[in-house]
Structure 1
Amino acid sequence: MSREQQSHNSLMWFRQDLRLQDNQALVAACEHAQQLSQRGGEQASGKVRALFFATPKQWQQHDVAPIQIDFIERQLNVIAHELAELGIPFDVIHVADFDEVPALLAQYLDYWQIEQVFASSEPEFNERQRDRKVLASGIKLKLFSQHCYLAPLSVRNLAGDMYKVFTPFAKKWRDIAKQTPVRTVAKPLAVAKPLPLPSAIELRYQKRCSDDWLVGEAAAHKQLRQFARSKVNDYQAVRDFPAIDGTSQISAYLAIGILSPAQCLQALLGYYPDALVDDDSPGRCWLNELIWREFYRHLLIAFPSLSKGANFNRLADHVAWRNDPQEFQAWCEGRTGYPLVDAAMRQLNQTGWMHNRLRMVTASFLTKHLLVDWRWGERYFKQNLIDGDLAANNGGWQWSAGTGCDAQPYFRVFNPISQCEKFDPTGEFIRKYLPELDGVDLKLIHKLKIPFQAQLFGCVSYFSPIVEHKFARSRAIAQLAVMKRGATTSQATVSNSSQRVQQTNTVNAEADLDKEIFG
């Protein structure tokens, strides 16, 4: 990094917002530099730099998937070229973890004589702690809340608390959202002459090829537009069928910020302007999926213990999980003997992505049929998903296990056999990922009669069911009944009460912090 004659007075710190369009922090950095130039005359510098911190030790601690790191690396190279066209140099600094960021950032700012840092806020606990340390060091850090459409802690009940049930949260969210038109900001104009093409960026971390997913904002917006135009109308009817290409396929773009929530909402309302106000709008079903994403992110900030693996329902602390390592490994590898579960896990292992219905089926199977702690499954998903997102992953797993906020009841156990019959009725998805069953009659697949019949068809490599469904269901209900309110010890009730007080205090503290950061 050679020093230039002119200093760069603004810094754009990229994080989970790897885009140039609808990036309020980037626009603010460019406007700040322009204001400095106007204030200081022709001799003023008023330049902009951009920065990304690569934190391999932190990624490992956070179980970031190698396929997601590869996806990030490819997108960083895209925006490096786009920033060069705007005259903005882009640096990637490798540090071990977040603890090293404040000191390195201070050195960087001093070297380039940078006055102000602009960035997007992040909902995760460690990321917020990092920002606290940066602010405490005296660095001028201006954060913009862009990871949600409505800022965290802005959607509250009449008592001023965070909602703990999705339906009233969604209603309040829609009531707020419909008050003003959706606005996005354009990509900033060039701030200087174009720079030479930058060198290739390489993140020093284990990576897995993500080439099946196109990078770049153009590709992401094309996918979003095609979905909004052609698939939203049928989304509610087909979204649960994994053999049908009926979902948006934009989760990976949202996870690292190639797309913003505002852009998604804007695209939806462009075709279905009634989605916010009409319960019967064809766009309402997908809108609710966007709101679920917001719900889990708001929860992550209101209840920071969720980032640390805590059960939302503290009564779940008393569950005696079986945690059989061999059964867990069989689940990971798609060897449970339940075709839909196994096909889903192999989809994850082969592609780095899994259909949403199947995420629920596999999570329910692990936590209720096998009684494996949901945190084991949450971690495995995070280690393998290209769209890994702590809030959504944690929320989904706790929902399935019955331990979460507005979760599926502990006594509701997905039947993997009927789920298979209902959502893969032709066996197309199963046969795609379980080729050993390609010659087996569909009825035998659905009825789990494969091991005996398979020999007749020359298919001898599939597995007997790891556990019988009725037995597993009864066992799960008995074991998980400790989560039934009023059926546990007084100690659990006291713990739950204390947690509620702690969470209320946390909400207030986080609100004060956000007021300090966002002004």
Structure 2
Amino acid sequence: MQQITLFWFRRDLRLEDNTGFFYALQQEKNVLPLFVFDTNILEKLEDKKDARLEFIHEQVCKLKKQLEEKGSSFLVKIGHPLNVYRELMENFDIQAVYTNRDYEPYAKERDKAVENLLKEKSIPFYTFKDQVIFEPGEVLNGSGEFYKVYTPYSKVWLDKFKNTKIELLSSPQWKNLLQCPAFPLPSLEEIGFEKTGIQIPPMDTDEQLIANYDKTRDFPAKAGTSRLGVHLRFGTISIRKLALIASKLNAVFLNELIWREFYMTILAYNPQVVEKAFKPAYDRIQWRNNQEEFKAWCEGKTGYPIVDAGIRELNATGYMHNRVRMIVASFLTKHLLIDWRWGEAYFASKLLDFELASNNGGWQWAAGTGTDAQPYFRVFNPESQMEKFDKELKYVKKWVPEFGTNLYPKPIVDHKFARQRALDTYKKALDQ
């Protein structure tokens, strides 16, 4: 059997400045890149037209082509990772497996199972930090505990960032790739999915946009956000590259990257937040959970134009502007008193840049149930938010063309009434 080392690609779909890949090629010979379309994850995706799967497949095709130009290939498998590794151990003499760490509960469980399987055959499993600047456990308070509040976390993060030499890795040792004929690549249809027609925003680190980010980011009609979330999510861009650019150009943009790592830390230390409120008292809230109202929200038919525009943008493109995400989430949880978990799951099924930690953190922030959350008595007024951030109604008219006509529905609930109902409901839960 041929001796090989595997590099397992997951959320790091690039060849350059990829930590685990770089070290595999530096330290080993006959490195074979591997990607697994994990059926544990695929089976949970109800919609077989999923733009994220299409995007991953496209990136895997690109990487395969780049690797074949270097005389190697990309081994792409479909299945449960444990079964894939069992099969590979029968067909190859595996010397080691290299990969980059992931911090989500399922990923940690999966990696532990694979590591244990490999250990039975004395095959080392090497993992590396790659998708974050500082991983959970690196930014802690004086008592060695994780931060529950963003501001002190961000101060320590920034201080550490300034005192750490962040460098991009040089070009890998390509000569250590396994030289082999091309492996077949399963089609999107063979994986069980179809093309969607949704356009993924290009990976463009537009320095002028980043430099102006703090001035433009709140206005949904402007192209004022980077749209790099999906590239960070699947690692088609290096977080080190992006953080270095942001640190030179815009502190507010860098802050967004710090929020991402803050929420990853919260999830890593508190895996219960996937199902429960970070603040346990908030699990006593008596949500109304009206199915008809939830349906109207999902379809962008609430009668609140900026809420409806946001949902329709999400449904059509897999993206929703950041400011609008807060308005839409606040509306569902406060105005309609629908459980944040319903909204979180809806976003999870639609967002191209869906990342469990950030999605969970954002929804719990909006609902007031999370760490360092917006206080429950702060209820966004969708009308004044629209007046402030979409004064000329360009965003609203783009996504809600019937606004201002008889075809547009009346508001599903009165703002003043809904606000008071939310305050009363939350207070009752917290006074118990």
Structure-2 residue corresponding to 1:19: 14
CA distance in 1, matches of 2:299, 2:54: 23
Structure-2 residue corresponding to 1:430: 396
Q: Does 1:143 align with 2:127?
A: yes
Go from structure 1 to structure 2 and tell me whether the alpha carbon gap of 1:373 and 1:208 turns closer, same or farther (over 3 Å shift): farther
Structure-2 residue corresponding to 1:504: none
Q: Identify which range, 361-370 or 175-184, moves more after superposition.
A: 175-184
Structure-2 residue corresponding to 1:323: 289
Q: Identify which range, 422-431 or 186-195, moves more after superposition.
A: 186-195
CA distance in 2, matches of 1:119, 1:186: 18
CA distance in 1, matches of 2:268, 2:417: 39
Count of residue pairs the alignment pairs up: 424
State the TM-score, normalized to the length of structure 2.
0.93
Conserved? CA contact 1:54–1:92, under 8 Å: yes
CA deviations 1:354-409 (Å, max 9, x no partner) are 00001100000000100110011111111011111101100100000001110011
Q: Does 1:75 align with 2:59?
A: yes
CA distance in 1, matches of 2:66, 2:289: 48
Structure-2 residue corresponding to 1:297: 264
CA distance in 2, matches of 1:150, 1:483: 36
Go from structure 1 to structure 2 and tell me whether the alpha carbon gap of 1:210 and 1:8 turns closer, same or farther (over 3 Å shift): farther
What value does the CA root-mean-square deviation take over the aligned residues? 1.9
Deviation at 1:106, TM superposition (A): 3.2
Kindly provide the amino acid, as one letter, of the partner of residue 255 in structure 2: N
* Structure 2 counterparts to residues 440-459 of structure 1, below 5 A: 440=404, 459=405
Q: Does 1:314 align with 2:292?
A: no
Structure-2 residue corresponding to 1:212: 199
Conserved? CA contact 1:23–1:187, under 8 Å: no
Q: Does 1:119 align with 2:99?
A: yes
Q: Does 1:168 align with 2:152?
A: yes
Go from structure 1 to structure 2 and tell me whether the alpha carbon gap of 1:429 and 1:198 turns closer, same or farther (over 3 Å shift): farther
Q: Does 1:180 align with 2:146?
A: no
User: Which ranges in structure 2 are unaligned for 5 or more consecutive residues?
Assistant: none
CA distance in 2, matches of 1:309, 1:385: 19
Structure-1 residue corresponding to 2:347: 381
CA distance in 2, matches of 1:320, 1:193: 58
Conserved? CA contact 1:71–1:210, under 8 Å: no
Structure-2 residue corresponding to 1:202: 187
Go from structure 1 to structure 2 and tell me whether the alpha carbon gap of 1:92 and 1:84 turns closer, same or farther (over 3 Å shift): same
CA distance in 1, matches of 2:77, 2:243: 33
Conserved? CA contact 2:230–2:354, under 8 Å: yes
Question: Which of 476, 488, 493 lines up with 2:422 in the alignment?
Answer: 476
* Structure 2 counterparts to residues 456-467 of structure 1, below 5 A: 459-467=405-413
CA distance in 1, matches of 2:81, 2:354: 23
Deviation at 1:59, TM superposition (A): 3.2
Q: Does 1:10 align with 2:5?
A: yes
Go from structure 1 to structure 2 and tell me whether the alpha carbon gap of 1:483 and 1:159 turns closer, same or farther (over 3 Å shift): farther
CA distance in 1, matches of 2:198, 2:293: 32
Q: Does 1:349 align with 2:332?
A: no
* Structure 2 counterparts to residues 87-106 of structure 1, below 5 A: 87-95=71-79, 100-106=80-86
CA distance in 1, matches of 2:153, 2:91: 46
Q: Does 1:333 align with 2:299?
A: yes
Go from structure 1 to structure 2 and tell me whether the alpha carbon gap of 1:150 and 1:25 turns closer, same or farther (over 3 Å shift): same
CA distance in 2, matches of 1:341, 1:51: 42
Conserved? CA contact 1:49–1:90, under 8 Å: yes
Kindly provide the amino acid, as one letter, of the partner of residue 34 in structure 2: L
Structure-1 residue corresponding to 2:30: 47
CA distance in 2, matches of 1:348, 1:313: 29
Conserved? CA contact 2:287–2:339, under 8 Å: yes
Structure-2 residue corresponding to 1:411: 377
State the TM-score, normalized to the length of structure 1.
0.78
Conserved? CA contact 2:73–2:181, under 8 Å: no
Please say which structure displays the higher CA radius of gyration: 1
Conserved? CA contact 1:8–1:48, under 8 Å: no
Deviation at 1:197, TM superposition (A): 6.0
